[in-house]
Structure 1
């Protein structure tokens, strides 16, 4: 086996993971309530808008941690 085979496999897996994450991000905008939770920071003054979904990020981080712990548990 060529040493490049392992690197090619790694790049292929990384690409598939990126496609899945991209699809989830595209669908997340259609789920009601995601990104508009109480605690998310939204400031709008004139033509300046600042939005930081801190609570949404924390909840998604907790959910992903739980899911990945179940998947990769040994």
Structure 2
């Protein structure tokens, strides 16, 4: 395994840990809109609950694709 990949994995891990700490310490109130975007499907009935965050997952996919494009472009 090349050393650059190891460094990248450590940086990604640190970023995920920082995001988790931010949300855990109360920063999650800034992201209340996430999961409630137009296009997220929510069906609630007695004894049945369906939640399909389609628009939210598309947003995450676009964000991660952009980040990976930048990493490849700059690296």
TM-score range, shorter chain: 0.5 to 0.7
When the two structures are superposed, what TM-score results if normalisation uses the length of structure 2? 0.59
Match of 1:42, SS state, is: strand
Name the counterpart of 2:57.
57
When the two structures are superposed, what TM-score results if normalisation uses the length of structure 1? 0.59
Structure 1 gap ranges (5+): 1-5
Shift of residue 64, structure 1, vs aligned partner = 1.3
Structure 2 gap ranges (5+): none
- Find the structure with the greater CA-based Rg: 1
